A and B are shown apart, each in its own frame.
Chain A
Amino acid sequence: MTAVATPERASGRGLRAWLGAHPLAGYAIRRFGLYLLELWGAVTVAFFFFRMIPGDPIQTFIQTLQQNYVYNAQASAEVIARYRQEFGLDGNLFSQYLHYMYKVLVQQDLGPSLLNYPTPAQDVIMRAMPWTMGLLGIAAVLAWILGLLAGALAGWRRGKFGADLVTNLSIALSHVPYYFLALILTFVFAYQLNWLPARSAYDARLQPGFSLEFIASLLRYGLLPGLSIVVIGVFSWLLSTRMLMVPVLGEDYLTYAQAKGLRPRRILTRYALRNCYLPQVTAFGISLGFIFNGNVLVEQLFSYPGLGATLVQAIGILDFNTIMGITNLAIFSVLTANLILDLLLPLLDPRVKYWR
């Protein structure tokens, strides 16, 4: 940096120097670029996948219209063409793609839904979202926290009967699909014991609102679907945390902490757990996608009015706009969560230098 540079070169070097001085910023910019690339790639892949499904939603739609309104006249070609245009289904696949991306990116418009025509797809999605966020969000976070703590304890007390029993149980159960547990829980608690409801999100006789009765009903109805996600989640987080925990327990700093005469609980939390929870933060972000997949079935099984069940309905009538909207939302959430967690990680872990 000693030579006198021309202005352009200076600015180029200036940028490099600035990035040199702010390595974290450089890392963040690169990571963000990757994020945009992944976002675009995944949305594109999803778009073409879904559009390649055989079937003509408009024909089906018009047939239902005819049935519902006893509208006997043969649908004219113009009507069909108008609907095609409205739903962005005219032209070849590639121009449909460009049109869709333009609408979504520039106009923030997901197009009309078929499920509930003419309600826009984003309204349909927004209506379903709180249910999924409530059910899935709480269940996923709860499972993560409980699994992390239980896993830390299972590792800490390894060799003891209880801890090893729990570990073996998790090995057996951590890969059970959510819906499978949901089926068994429903069978036992809803059909055999008749303790809990098997369908819907709340008692239909109640008026949704902030009444105690309604909230109690929400919890009662959410218990079985939530439980199936939480239980499996706890077991799988328990197992992976324990696997991270065991090598940490052999580290010198644990022996040293013991020599220091610290309380066991403090050693467990501040020394052991703190050194193995970070990979689990990343893993949580990655797991969101799988959890969403599993949730589709759980919601459908319980007729829970969330995104998963809506998605299944939308697929039933090939409502592309709603399908793509929900898929995009899932992709966006998973990738964004990963981005945030990746950006947070260097701040959480002093050892890690991500900005290489």
Chain B
Amino acid sequence: MPDDALVEIKDLRVHYRTTQGDVPAVDGVDLTVRRGEILGIAGESGSGKSTLAVALLRLLRAPGYVAGGSIDFHPSGQPSVDLLAMDERRLRSLRWRSLSYLPQGSMNSMNPVMRVGEQFRDVILEHAPERRNQLATMVPRLLRQVGLDEGVVRMYPHELSGGMKQRVLMAMSIALEPDLVVADEPTTALDVTIQRVILQSLGDLRDEFGVTLVVISHDMGVHAQLVDRVAVMYEGKVVEVGDVRQVFKQPRHPYTRSLIESIPRIGEAPWRDEKRSPVA
């Protein structure tokens, strides 16, 4: 076991029960998330990357079920656990403090009848009741960190734009300084300028808080700009995993190659930009 491993996924198999029998969605995945890194998971829709994320968060719903494997989680300052074997109550105490989730902003992830502030309060008081007194300063600070006005606290989800929602969710995901944030398509359905800003903020999160991020995205451009390492999934299997520059430069799997080629490029390819260009 590598010392810096935060999550170790071993031989994970997730199946869906259908009338035509079981269909594997994740088919024997081995993957390690290192502490402090941003790990990208790429693949087209149906490749199993979202199912992998859902299984990692233990949010799998029928007809999906875990058919085998383990997910060892090593949160800082706490004993290691197998996320798949934990009982519901202990898992609940781990959620958000150690394991948090950043869903796609275009989804209906926020309760439509609760103000943004209440939804922060909800989760903070659930896991860190000792911070009750700090709530009034804490929530505005979190919102400012993602570039939002603190007036958002009093707004309802339907009053927010897609980009604002994504940022609120982002602020919420790091409210309790978790060890791991699983971000599921964090930039999908946003327009290009906002995508950039969101990616920037996600990068900042790691730099400022040291959170470990798992970023699920079908968009290779996102991975090129944001992640350290990328795992490429195809038909439920991880076909390639490695340093993002390495993968982009020398894709070993033909599927990875076709994914990279599918990025629309204007002028230079994004992975050759200044910041990320290999120092030769």
Contact = CB atoms under 8 A, between A and B. Distances in A.
B110 A260 contact: no
A333 interface: no
Interface stretch (B111-119, B215-223, B269-277): B111-119
A259 B94 contact: no
A205 interface: no
A280 interface: no
5 contacts: A259-B95, A261-B94, A266-B122, A266-B126, A350-B158
B108 A260 contact: no
Nearest to A272: B111
Contacts of B280: none
Interface of A: 251-253, 255-263, 266, 270-271, 274-275, 349-351
Contacts of A253: 108-112
A270 B108 contact: no
A262 B123 contact: yes
A275 B123 contact: no
Nearest to B159: A350
B141 interface: no
Interface in B80-126: 91-97, 100-101, 103, 107-114, 122-123, 126
Contacts of A258: 59
A270 B95 contact: no
A260 B59 contact: no
A261 B96 contact: yes
A340 B113 CA distance: 21
Given A262-B123, A351-B156, A270 B111 contact: yes
B113 A351 contact: yes
A350 B160 CA distance: 13
Interface of B is mostly: loop
A259 B92 CA distance: 8
Contact of A271 (B61, B101, B111, B127): B111
Interface in B59-79: 59, 61
B122 A270 contact: yes
A98 B110 CA distance: 56
B57 interface: yes
What are the 10 A-B residue pairs with the smallest beta carbon separation, nearest first? A261-B95, A259-B101, A256-B109, A252-B107, A252-B108, A261-B92, A260-B123, A350-B156, A253-B111, A252-B109
A261 B93 contact: yes
Interface in B121-170: 122-123, 126-127, 156, 158
A259 B95 CA distance: 7
A260 B113 contact: no
Which one of B92, B94, B97, B156 has the highest number of Cβ atoms from chain A below 10 Å of its Cβ? B92
B126 A260 contact: yes
Contact of A275 (B59, B95, B113): B113
B158 to A, nearest CB: 5
Contacts of B97: 261
A270 B123 CA distance: 12
A270 B126 contact: no
Nearest to A257: B111
A252 B109 CA distance: 5
Contacts of A274: 111, 113-114
Contacts of A266: 122, 126
A270 B57 contact: no
Nearest to A249: B61
Contacts of B59: 255, 258-259
A253 B72 CA distance: 27
